[in-house]
């Protein structure tokens, strides 16, 4: 092969040719081309391929342009070669227009104009935002250190008209054109790299290409913050909206898919910054302050004594006095707590959240105390005083009483506002529980109904043995079995014997005894005074429940091993006995409020789902179909949980200050987490385990409800079934057989990490489901979506409608039941209302609790509900899109059915004496305090 062919600079020059190992080198100089009659100008061709046989030429050293026979023909071929090459370039080279939709850096509802000016300055100096496509059909042949193929990179193209596009004051979408010089060798783009050389980050929403040669429109759904490139070790990569199992990923995209997951996992070290995109695990070791004895708390998680789900790692340094405890941020810095940037609230939610907070703060700070003396500032003297919260604004008292309030408010922001705004008007929305009647909440019927349709409808159980028994270790706690006997309840059973109603499945129990008894002595050593309670209820012929006995238990004064000291209270209508019965129901409500907030709400939705968010981002690529399925159900969860660790569940936080569990709150929830079982979170399984349903194929969903009018179960089973059908339709599209599940490396790594890391303290439990079949995948994903959406909605958005009126669901109690022949007992006889108000949450804690739950019960303006997606083009696959549309239509049918049932007066548990329809599992809602709607995720 000829290695070089050269023509002399002038006719007197000498040329040479010879053989070598390199590719051909052809130089045609202008004087020679002129002699050949060509007008191509100076051309150099450095070929990667062998020189064509017909163009080879023998040359001798020192000869002039010497050629063999057919010299003219050969040069004609040279000319044809270069003109054909030029022609081909013109033929295949074209331009493709793209449209990029993004949001610029913002501060709440406003664009950051300072950042925008700096970005324009960077543009002026040639520091642009550029995009490079990655081919899914053509390989990059450039040599690389790794011996694997990658998609060919297209030429970079910059976003156009950045400087000339006016940045509006209000946050909104900005659209930019981008023009690509399209090379046929790119073929179909499967991904793109983006490089941000601006000063500021931006939120990249979508990129749409129109008329890609041979492929038409290509769409990329991004929805991610892109920081300046200096913060990244590799350029950000985004993939087209097509899902692939790992083994089906186009070979040219696989390296990018794998590298992206490596980046998201991080290296497990160092403090994480806002631009980091790392998802990693940590213990709950950031709730307390070991340097302050009052604020010291044990590390939760990572031990058999205090097991717990993992939370997102921040990498903050540990405290000086305890290397096991992570340092805390001040309240003013709390907004900076690390969560991956894409997991943070969007600008609308952040703005709404802050507005609700400020509004609620004002309501907290400005209750009307005009008729109260200073010495009763912290008490509601009557139910009329409570109603002033909803009936008008008031003037804040000044003087020593103000200092008392300041000492009891944990949030610095509240304290600053109270100093700067001492007067004004404020009122809370009237909670639904007192809209129709001011007294119906206190009836026995409503007390029982809320166990089926209130804010905590997940604790009631069928009583399977009488008297009730305890599962507490008798060697530690002595005899903790119930002291309720047949003579306590017989007169309330409509003439039936106890054995008869037990056999007929008509006895139910709300049992908070075993979960609370180990903590009663410690709690009662504080200013709070509680009982461990058991409540027995009788199912009447009209389908409603009637409470028939309440057992109030305390640990033995001498020794825990001596068992419980219990008091059994039964219904009474008149006299002091009626007041005692009402107090007994109050102690049950206090117990249920704490269990609801700590267990049903925080632990069983917020805390347990966070490891799923982390593991999904670490192990399932954004290209993975299961990532695409689950991603909407993780929106904002890490952000709201991080906020909770800062101001709600931390030592001396709002929860500790307002609930009877006090400083033992999270510690107690860790003890209950020991018994958490993932597959039991499936609604049908849960109902059967609690005895609230039995399997029966003759009934809808294969279950016969023990209480036919159980609104949470009736509506919940409809939602559960719709979710499961949707998940089945989706998963069976991508997984045709069990082998595909077993051979999916990302899926198997995901499930393994969830067990061994995310819920690592329970990793050896035998109940963990397998991930060996398509049915396993369907079942597990259905449970995850159920917890994230419907279960959370059922236990969250009813908080203000029911607990916004503190007497209905007080969060703590300060007195035990008065004993006969005491001044307290005499006061109960004279003024039971005042004794009740002195027993339950005082004014400051009540206001703080209402302030909190009003925020938690609101839907923000950017909420996305079950059956909805943030972007309609979330996948290009037609069958999943059709299945999702079917899911949405099914949810609309369920909405209509719920509305019809709520109008059926025969279903008394759906509205009860308070006339509050059961709408907590109604799929959609408007913004605000509506008491209905199922958001996709645990987002508030």
Residue positions annotated with a catalytic role: 601, 606, 792, 796, 940
Query: Closest by alpha carbon to 510, among 546, 462, 472?
Result: 462
What's the token pair of residue 10? Answer: 């002038």
The 3-state DSSP class for residue 831 equals coil
Partner residues linked to 281 by β-bridges: 312
β 110-111/94-104 pair status: unpaired
Tokens found for residue 930: 């509506």
- DSSP secondary structure string for all residues of 6-42: ---SSTT----EEE-SS--EEEE-HHHHHHHT----S
Number of Cβ within 10 Å of residue 304's Cβ equals 7
Return all residues near 355 (Cβ < 8 A) that are at least 6 apart. Answer: none
Beta bridge partners of 551: 534, 568
Give the bridge partners for 859, in sequence order.
928
Element containing residue 584 per DSSP (H, E): helix 575-595
Q: Is the peptide bond before 467 cis (omega within 30 degrees of 0)?
A: yes
Tally of CA atoms within 13 A in the half-sphere of 81 that contains its CB: 16
List the one residue out of 51, 66, 50 whose CA is nearest residue 15.
66
Count of C-beta atoms within a 10 Å radius of residue 261: 17
563: left (phi over 0), alpha (psi -120 to 50) or beta: left
DSSP-derived secondary structure letter, 147? S
Distances (CA, A) of 919 to 724, 817, 902: 21, 36, 8
C-alpha span between 923 and 896 (Å, rounded): 10
Alpha-carbon gap, residue 309 to 283, rounded angstroms = 8
Q: Are 294 and 657 in contact (CB under 8 A)?
A: no
The alpha carbons of the chain give a radius of gyration, in whole angstroms, of: 35
Please give the helix or strand (H or E) that residue 545 lies within, else none.
Answer: strand 545-555
Residue 679 DSSP label:
G
DSSP secondary-structure letter at 601? I
Q: Which one, of 222, 224, 232, lies nearest residue 195 by Cα?
A: 232
Listed residue (9, 4, 210) closest to 98, CA to CA? 210
Q: Which of 829, 841, 837 lies closest to 579, judged by CA?
A: 829
Query: Residue 508 in 3-state DSSP?
Result: strand
Cα–Cα distance measured from residue 904 to residue 888, given in angstroms and rounded to the nearest whole number: 25
């Amino acid at each position: 092969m000829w290695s070089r062919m050269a023509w002399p600079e002038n006719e007197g020059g000498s040329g040479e040719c010879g053989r070598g190992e390199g590719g051909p080198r052809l130089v045609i100089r202008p004087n020679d081309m002129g002699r050949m009659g060509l007008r191509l100008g100076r051309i150099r061709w450095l070929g990667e391929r062998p020189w064509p046989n017909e163009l080879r030429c023998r040359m001798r050293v020192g000869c002039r342009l010497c050629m063999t026979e057919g010299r003219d023909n050969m040069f004609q071929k040279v000319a044809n070669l270069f003109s054909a090459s030029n022609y081909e370039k013109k033929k295949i080279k074209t331009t493709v227009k793209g449209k990029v939709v993004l949001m610029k850096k913002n501060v709440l509802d406003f664009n950051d104009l300072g950042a925008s000016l700096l970005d324009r300055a960077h543009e002026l100096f040639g520091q642009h935002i550029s995009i490079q496509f990655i081919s899914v059909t053509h390989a990059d042949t450039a040599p690389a250190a790794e011996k694997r193929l990658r998609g060919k990179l297209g030429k970079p193209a910059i976003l156009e008209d950045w400087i000339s596009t006016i940045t509006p004051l209000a946050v909104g979408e900005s659209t930019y054109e981008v023009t690509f010089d399209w090379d046929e060798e790119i073929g179909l783009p499967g991904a793109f790299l983006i490089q941000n050389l601006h000063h500021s980050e931006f939120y990249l929403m979508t990129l749409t290409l129109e008329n890609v040669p041979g492929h038409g429109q290509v769409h990329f759904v991004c929805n991610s913050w892109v920081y300046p490139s200096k913060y990244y070790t590799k350029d950000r990569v985004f993939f087209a909206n097509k899902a692939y199992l790992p083994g089906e990923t186009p070979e040219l995209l696989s390296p990018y898919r794998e590298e992206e997951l490596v980046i998201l996992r991080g290296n497990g070290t160092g403090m994480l910054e806002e631009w980091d995109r790392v998802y990693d695990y940590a213990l709950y070791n950031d709730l307390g302050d070991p340097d302050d004895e009052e604020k010291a708390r044990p590390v939760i998680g990572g031990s058999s004594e205090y097991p717990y789900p993992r939370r997102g790692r921040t990498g903050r340094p540990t405290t000086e006095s305890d290397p096991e405890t992570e340092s805390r941020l001040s309240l003013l810095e709390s907004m900076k707590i690390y969560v991956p940037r894409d997991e943070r609230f969007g600008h609308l939610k952040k703005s709404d959240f802050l507005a609700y907070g400020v509004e609620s703060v004002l309501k907290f700070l400005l209750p009307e105390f005009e008729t109260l003396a200073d010495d009763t500032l912290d008490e509601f003297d009557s139910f009329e005083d409570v109603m002033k919260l909803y009936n008008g604004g008031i003037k804040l008292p000044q003087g020593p009483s103000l200092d008392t309030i300041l000492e009891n408010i944990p949030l610095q922001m509240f304290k600053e506002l109270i100093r700067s705004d001492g007067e004004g008007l404020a009122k809370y929305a009237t909670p639904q529980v007192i809209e129709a009647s001011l007294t119906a909440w206190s009836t026995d019927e409503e007390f029982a109904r809320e166990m089926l349709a209130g804010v905590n409808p997940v604790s009631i159980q069928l009583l399977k043995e009488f008297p009730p028994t305890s599962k507490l270790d008798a060697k530690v706690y002595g005899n903790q079995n119930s002291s309720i006997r047949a003579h306590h309840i017989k007169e309330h059973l409509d003439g039936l014997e106890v054995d008869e109603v037990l056999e007929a499945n008509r006895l139910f129990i709300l049992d908070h005894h075993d979960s609370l008894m180990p903590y009663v002595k410690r709690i009662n050593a504080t200013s709070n005074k509680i009982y461990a309670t058991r409540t027995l209820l009788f199912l009447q012929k009209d389908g409603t429940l009637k409470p028939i006995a309440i057992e109030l238990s305390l640990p033995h004064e001498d020794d825990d091993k001596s068992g419980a000291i219990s008091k059994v209270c039964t219904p009474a209508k008149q006299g002091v006995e009626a007041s005692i019965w009402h107090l007994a129901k109050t102690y049950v409500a206090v117990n249920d409020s704490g269990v609801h907030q700590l267990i049903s709400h925080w632990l069983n939705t917020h805390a347990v789902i966070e490891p799923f968010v982390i593991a999904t981002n670490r192990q399932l690529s954004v290209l993975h179909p299961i990532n695409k399925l689950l991603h909407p159900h993780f929106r904002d969860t890490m952000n709201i949980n991080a906020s909770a660790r800062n101001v709600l569940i931390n030592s001396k936080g709002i929860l500790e200050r307002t609930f009877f569990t006090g400083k033992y709150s999270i510690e107690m929830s860790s003890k209950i987490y020991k018994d958490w079982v993932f597959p039991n979170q499936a609604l049908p399984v849960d109902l059967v385990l609690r005895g609230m349903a039995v399997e029966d194929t003759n009934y809808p969903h294969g279950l016969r409800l023990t209480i036919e009018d159980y609104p949470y179960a009736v509506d919940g089973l409809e939602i559960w079934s719709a979710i499961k059908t949707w998940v089945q339709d989706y998963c069976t599209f991508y997984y045709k057989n069990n082998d595909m599940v077993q051979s999916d490396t990302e899926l198997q790594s995901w499930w393994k990490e969830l067990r061994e890391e995310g819920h690592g303290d329970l990793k050896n439990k035998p109940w963990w489901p397998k991930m060996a079949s398509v049915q396993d995948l369907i079942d597990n994903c259905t449970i995850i979506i159920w917890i994230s959406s419907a279960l959370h909605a059922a236990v969250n958005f009813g908080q203000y409608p029911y607990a916004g009126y503190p007497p209905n669901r007080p969060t703590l109690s300060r007195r035990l039941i008065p004993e006969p022949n005491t001044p307290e007992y005499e006061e109960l006889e004279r003024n039971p209302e005042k004794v009740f108000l002195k027993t339950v949450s005082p004014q400051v804690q009540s206001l703080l609790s209402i302030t909190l739950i009003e925020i938690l019960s609101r839907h923000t303006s950017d909420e996305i509900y079950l059956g909805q997606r943030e972007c309609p083009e979330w996948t290009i696959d037609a069958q999943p899109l059709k299945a999702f549309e079917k899911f949405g239509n099914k949810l609309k049918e369920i909405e209509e059915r719920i509305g019809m049932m709520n109008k059926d007066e025969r279903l008394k548990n759906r509205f009860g004496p308070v006339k509050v329809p059961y709408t907590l599992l109604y799929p959609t809602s408007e913004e605000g305090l509506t008491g209905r709607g199922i958001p996709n995720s645990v987002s508030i």
